[in-house]
Structure 1
C-alpha cells in the first residue's frame, strides 16, 4: 500500500454537499441543531449541535457520522455518477484518462470474476517468496515488493529534504507492522491485550483463506513475534512528532555501518535507484534494530512474514472472504462499524487514492465553478493579513523573532481548488485483466514516478491532495497552504451564508492551516521550508511555557471510560485550532456584519461565528472508533475540538457572557494565548 506522509493537515474527511443547512433558520446554520436545554456557558458543543447529534445516529456502514460524513456521501454519489458515466463506454481510446478510469472501475466492480479468482492473483508473489534461498535474495524480494507498493520491514519514500527543501531526497521511515499503533504490541492495558489476541486470530484466518489452513496458527504467531520485535525498536507517535529528532541525514556508507546486517546495495539495486549518496533516516534506532533482526530471524520465518504482508496489503482486491475478514477485524472490531460499505463506494475510495487527479480533472468541471476560487482567495488573503497583525501585536515575542515570523508569513504559498498543472498519468497502464493487477500497476507507477525525483529540484507547485478531497493542509517544506475544491463548499464555505458562519467555519480552517506554520512543529521551519531555528532563546522558552499550558488543558479532558486526550500528541492541532479561531475572529471583526451587530435568528454576529465553528465538528462516533482515535490520532475528538479552544478565548467569553467559574471558562491563570 502506498505510503504518503501529509504533515500538518486539518484531517477532516472527504466529500461534496449541496446546501442542506438552509432549513430552520438563516442559510448557513440550522437552528434546529441547537439543544437549548443546555447553556452555552456549560457545554458549547452540546448547545450548538446537540440536537443534530441526537437525531443523526451512526449508520451501520460507518464508524462515525458527522457533518463531514454527510459531505462524504454526497461526494461519493457525485464521483460514482461521473465514473459510471465514463465506464458505460467501452470504446475509449487506449491511454486516455477516461479509458483508465473506465477500465479500473469496471474491473474492480466485476465481483464475479474476482470471486472466481479467489486468492490466485497473489500466488505469483507467493511463488516468488517460496523461491528465496538466502538472506540476500530476501533483500532482493523486499526491494521488488517495495517497488510495487507492498512495504515489509520499513517504508521507503521520496520527499523534500527538510534542511534543503529545494531538493528531493530519499527517506526511510519505520514500518513493517500491521496494527495501527506500535504501542498496541507492548502495552499491558486490557484494550491492547484484546487487540493483540484478536490480531493473531485474524492473521491466522487470512492465512487459512490463502491456502495455508494447516499452518495458519503457527504462521500467525510467527508474524506476531516479528512485528512485536519491530514495534519494540520503533518510535512512538509522540516521538515521531519531533521534526529535528526524526531528521537524520546519512551517506549510504554511514547507513551501511549503522545497519550492517541489511544489504543496502542489493536493496537499492533491486529498487532501481542508482548513485544514491544521501538518505534521510527518520528513526535510526529502528533501522538498527530492524537490521539486526535480519540475522536473528530465520529465513523461513521471514518468508511467512512476507506472505502476510502480501495478503494484508492486497486483501481489498481479492475475493469476498478476504475482504470480509479484513473488515471484521479493522472495520468492526477496531472501529465498531456494523456493516461493510457497498462495493462501489469502496472502489471509489481506492480510485481516489490511486487515480486521484484523473478523477479530479472531471470532478472540478462538475463541482467547482471558477467564482468559488476567487471568493475563497479573498478570505485567505484576509486571514493572512489578520495573522500578520496578530504577530505584530504579540506582547510576549521580541522584535527580532517577530521579524523572522513575518518574513516566513510573507512567503506563504497558497493553493486553492485544483492544480494549475495536472499529474501526468501517461505512463500508467490500466487493463481489464484483474482488479489486483491494476492496483499493483497503479502503486508501481506512483513509486516509479517518485523515484525519478531523487536528487532533483523540488516542484513546489505540485499538489499533495486531490481536488475532490475535503481537507486542507500546510506543508512545512513548501511553506504553503492548500485548500482543495472539496472543502470550499458548505458547511465550510457557503457563498449564500453570512460572514459570521463563513469566518467561523472556513475562516477558522484557513487560520488553522496558517497557524500550522507556527505550531510546535511548523515553527521549526524557516521561510524557505528548511529546518532552521529562527527563534531567540528567550522567545523559544516563552513559546514552550505557553504550549505546555495547552497540553495541560487537553490532558484534563476525559473522552470515554478511562481514555483521555493526549495533550502532547495533539498539541500541534490544538495550537492550530486555537490560533485559527483567534486569527479568523480578528479578520471577522473587520466585516460590515460584525460592525453592524445585527442579530440573525436571535444571535449576534460574534455568537454566530462560534456556531459556525461548532457546526463543522458535529459528530457521532462509535466507542471503538473513539478509543482508536484517542490512541492514534493527532487531532482531538470533536467535543474537545470544539470546546477546548473556546474555553481559553476571551472573544468567546464576551460573545456568550461566560463568567469566571462557568464550565466553558478556565481560570485566568490557565488562559492560553500563543498566536
Structure 2
C-alpha cells in the first residue's frame, strides 16, 4: 500500500512506485549491514535524548519570539501608518512675505560664522554688502532704509495731482513745492530773513559792525528781553531763556510752566539725517548738549563749491581747528548781510570792514562759549531719584533770587521773569495769575537763570545784540538761498570729515513736510483697512507682551509683594497708541487740527514760520486744559516711543510694515517688532521709568528694599556693557549712560520670546520658512532679532553713537542675547562660549 495516499487530502509529494522485486523478502543482514543500509538507527544515550528534546524546545521558543516580533512590527507599522495618515505635514510658507523674509535672512547672513561665537556676524555678516550705504547717510540700517522708502512714498504722493484732498493735504503739497523751488529761493535772496528781523526788532546786520563808523557804543541801548520774547512767540525759539509748557511731573492730568536754560534752540526742520531718540523725555531733567555749537551748523544743504577758506584749518590742532572753522563761518554769514543791507555809500575800506566782521565773529564765539559754560557748569550728574522733588516758584520768587545773584556779582538787577512770561502769553487766550501760577524750575536751571542775568547785566548791549542776531539768523539762513546752504555745507564738512554727505534736496524737503505737517501727509497714505486688519494683530501682540512682563515680574525674587502689585497695576493701565489717531481719516477733524495755518507755494521760510506760530499759540492755549494724552510722534516716523508721564506706548503706522512687521511668520514678527514693543514696555520699569507710577506721575512707588535690590542688579549691566569695545575706535561703551536702554533691550527680548511661546501654544505650530526648514520657530525668532540690528556706519558715526543713550547696534544685539538662557539652549551654545557666558545680567 502507499504510505501517503492522496485520497481526500493534500498530496505531499509524488506517489511511491515499488520495483518488481519489491514483493520478495530480502535476505537478512547483520547489524552493520542494517546500519549501513539505513534500516536501523543507533540508540542514543540519555544525554543525546536531552539534547534532542532541548533542541526542539529552542526551536519552538525562537519561533515564538520571531512571531512576536513580526506581530509587534506589524502593529507598530499600522499605528504609524494611521498617525501619518491623520497627521498633516507642516507645510512651507510660500507667501510673498515669507519668501521675502527668507531671502533677506539668507543674503544677510555669514554662513561661515558660528552662532555661538559671534551671532551678530552670523546674522549680519553680509548685510552691508547687500545694503550699500547711500552717500547721504553716515550710518545705514533697517530704520534709515525704511525712513528713506517712506520719504520716497511721500515724495511720489506730493508730486501727484491732489485737488480732491482736504486742505491740509494740499498745504503739505504747497509746502513741498515751495521748498523744492530753489530758483524762487535764490531770486528772493535774503529778503525773507530781513523782513523777519524787522518784525523781531533786530537790525538787518549787527550794530557791532559799525559800517557807517558813527555808532556811539557807549550810548547804544538794546532791549534784549523784548527781542527774546518776540523770538519765542514768532519763531518758537529759545534764546538765553528756556520756556515750555509741560505735563506736571507729579500730576500728569494738568500742565505746568517750566523755565530754565534754552532747549528749543532750533525750531525749524532738520536738514540732515539725524537720529531720533525716544520721546520719553525726562521731565525737567535738562540734557545739556552742545546744541548752540553743533545743531544749527548741521542744518545745511548740498555743496557745489570748494571749501577753500575752511581747508586752511586742516593742519591745526583739533581744538584750534574747530575754533577757526566756527569763527570763519560766522564771519562769512555776517558779511553776506552787510553786503546786502548796508548803505552803499559807507566809507569803510574792504580790509577794515573784514577786520570788523571777523572781530564780531570772534566776540560772538567767546560770548557763546560763556553762555555754554553757564549751562554746563549748572548741569547735574546726580541720580535720577533727586528729581522726585522739583521746586516750583512764583515769578516774584525767581526774580528775588535772580536779583540777589546779580547784586552779588556787582551787576545791576532788572525785572525779567514776569515781563517775559507775560509777554509770551499775550499772544494767547490765557490769562495768568502770577500769585498762584507757579513755575517749575530745577535747581541747576535756577542757577543758570540767575548767573545769566548777572552776566548780561554787565555785558555790552551791542555784544548782546550780536549774540541774539546771529542765533536767529543762523537757524533761518539754511532755509533760503543756495549760497547760504553751501556755506553751511562747507562748515559741516570741515567739522566732520571729507566723506560726509548731505541728503538730496528732495529728501530734505520731504523730511521738512513730514516734520511740519506730519498728520496731513499721514492722512494721504493711511488706509481704513488698517483698523480691522493690522491693528487687531498689534493689540494682541501688545497684550501678550504685557502678560509676559507680568509673568516675569511674578518670577522676580528681588521684587517684594507690594512693588509687584504696583507693577501689575502699571502694566494694566499702560495705554497704547497704534498706527495713527482714530480721527485722522476724518477730513473735517484734520482741517480743524490744522486750523489757522497758511501756506504759499512761493514763500518757503514764511511757511515754516507761520506753522511754528500756530503751534506755539495752540501750546499756550492748552495750559488751562487738562492733559488727556496725545500722540508722541507722527504716523510716518520710523520709531516707537514710551511717554513716561502718560504711561503710554506709541507705535507709528510705518513701524507696522516690513522690515519690522508683516514678515510672514509669527516667529519673525515677534523677533523684530515684538522685541521693539517689548523694549518700549520695559522702559516703564527701567532705571528712569521706575520713577513714574501707573498714572505717569513722578512719585515714589517702589519700596526702599526693592530699589536697593534693583540698583545692585543694574551694576551687572553697567559692567557688562562697559566692557564692550568698538574695534574701529578702540573705545568702550558707556555702560552707565546706556543703562536704561540696555535694560529695555534685554527685557524686550525676554518678553517677546515668552509672548511668542504663548501665542504658538494657542495657535499651533507655524509653517516652515523656505531655506530654513531645519530651524525651529525659536531659532527663527532669534534670527529675526539679530537681523533687526544689522547696519553699517562710518567711524564718525560710531564716535557719535558712543555719546548716545543707546549702545551701538552690534552691542544691542550681543548684550541681550548673551544674557538670555533661552538663546543658549536654542542654539546649543556651551557654557563659557562667547554667546553664552557663565555670568548673565537679568532684571526682568
TM-score for both structures, normalised by structure 1? 0.88
- For the pair shown, which has the larger CA radius of gyration, 1 or 2? 2
Whether the aligned pair in 1 keeps the contact of 2:117 and 2:835 (CA below 8 Å) is: yes
Q: CA deviation at 1:210?
A: 3.4
1:119 aligns with 2:205: no
C-alpha spacing 1:666/1:291, structure 2 compared with 1 (3 Å):
farther
C-alpha spacing 1:362/1:192, structure 2 compared with 1 (3 Å):
farther
CA distance in 2, matches of 1:259, 1:266: 14
Matched with 2:261 is: 174
CA distance in 2, matches of 1:103, 1:185: 32
Matched with 1:648 is: 819
Matched with 1:609 is: 781
Matched with 1:110 is: 181
**C-alpha distance after superposition, 1:83-141 (max 9, x if no partner):** 22256x5xx89x92133223222222211110112222111344422399977721111
Whether the aligned pair in 2 keeps the contact of 1:125 and 1:310 (CA below 8 Å) is: no
1:400 aligns with 2:487: no
The runs of 5 or more residues in structure 1 that have no matched partner are 1-18
Matched with 1:278 is: 438
**C-alpha distance after superposition, 1:472-519 (max 9, x if no partner):** 11111111111110101112111x521111111111011111101001
Q: CA deviation at 1:21?
A: 7.2
CA distance in 2, matches of 1:284, 1:367: 51
CA distance in 2, matches of 1:394, 1:211: 67
CA distance in 1, matches of 2:368, 2:247: 29
CA distance in 2, matches of 1:198, 1:526: 47
Matched with 1:434 is: 603
Alignment map for 1:338-377 (pairs within 5 Å): 338-365=500-527, 368=530, 370-377=532-539
C-alpha spacing 1:330/1:583, structure 2 compared with 1 (3 Å):
farther
Q: CA deviation at 1:251?
A: 2.1
Q: CA deviation at 1:335?
A: 7.5
Q: CA deviation at 1:74?
A: 1.2
Whether the aligned pair in 2 keeps the contact of 1:169 and 1:454 (CA below 8 Å) is: yes
C-alpha spacing 1:638/1:180, structure 2 compared with 1 (3 Å):
farther
Matched with 1:450 is: 619
Matched with 2:701 is: 534
Matched with 2:109 is: 34
Matched with 2:452 is: 290
**C-alpha distance after superposition, 1:434-492 (max 9, x if no partner):** 111111111111111111112321121x2121011111111111111111101011121
CA distance in 1, matches of 2:117, 2:395: 58
Whether the aligned pair in 1 keeps the contact of 2:644 and 2:692 (CA below 8 Å) is: yes
CA distance in 2, matches of 1:112, 1:598: 56
Whether the aligned pair in 1 keeps the contact of 2:101 and 2:664 (CA below 8 Å) is: no
Whether the aligned pair in 1 keeps the contact of 2:802 and 2:808 (CA below 8 Å) is: yes
1:129 is paired with a residue whose SS is coil
Whether the aligned pair in 2 keeps the contact of 1:525 and 1:531 (CA below 8 Å) is: yes
Whether the aligned pair in 2 keeps the contact of 1:388 and 1:406 (CA below 8 Å) is: yes
Matched with 2:137 is: 62
Pick which of 514-523 and 451-460 moved more: 451-460
Matched with 1:146 is: 232
C-alpha spacing 1:507/1:610, structure 2 compared with 1 (3 Å):
same
Alignment map for 1:191-230 (pairs within 5 Å): 194-211=321-338, 214=354, 215-230=356-371
**C-alpha distance after superposition, 1:163-196 (max 9, x if no partner):** 111101222343377999339989xx97666544
C-alpha spacing 1:149/1:115, structure 2 compared with 1 (3 Å):
same
Whether the aligned pair in 2 keeps the contact of 1:184 and 1:196 (CA below 8 Å) is: no
Alignment map for 1:354-503 (pairs within 5 Å): 354-365=516-527, 368=530, 370-422=532-584, 424-460=593-629, 462-494=630-662, 496-503=663-670
CA distance in 1, matches of 2:766, 2:653: 31
Equivalent residue in structure 2 for 1:546, among 689, 700, 713: 713
1:81 aligns with 2:248: no
Equivalenced residues, count: 645
Q: CA deviation at 1:302?
A: 1.4
Q: CA deviation at 1:662?
A: 1.9
CA distance in 1, matches of 2:220, 2:530: 55
Matched with 1:672 is: 841
Matched with 2:751 is: 583
C-alpha spacing 1:364/1:313, structure 2 compared with 1 (3 Å):
same
Whether the aligned pair in 2 keeps the contact of 1:589 and 1:595 (CA below 8 Å) is: no
Matched with 1:9 is: none
Whether the aligned pair in 1 keeps the contact of 2:818 and 2:837 (CA below 8 Å) is: yes
C-alpha spacing 1:374/1:292, structure 2 compared with 1 (3 Å):
same
C-alpha spacing 1:564/1:173, structure 2 compared with 1 (3 Å):
farther
Whether the aligned pair in 2 keeps the contact of 1:234 and 1:285 (CA below 8 Å) is: no
Whether the aligned pair in 2 keeps the contact of 1:492 and 1:505 (CA below 8 Å) is: yes
Q: CA deviation at 1:421?
A: 3.8
Pick which of 262-271 and 592-601 moved more: 592-601
Matched with 2:684 is: 517
CA distance in 1, matches of 2:133, 2:96: 18
Equivalent residue in structure 1 for 2:372, among 217, 220, 231: 231
C-alpha spacing 1:206/1:647, structure 2 compared with 1 (3 Å):
farther
CA distance in 1, matches of 2:375, 2:420: 21
CA distance in 2, matches of 1:312, 1:243: 38
Q: CA deviation at 1:241?
A: 8.3
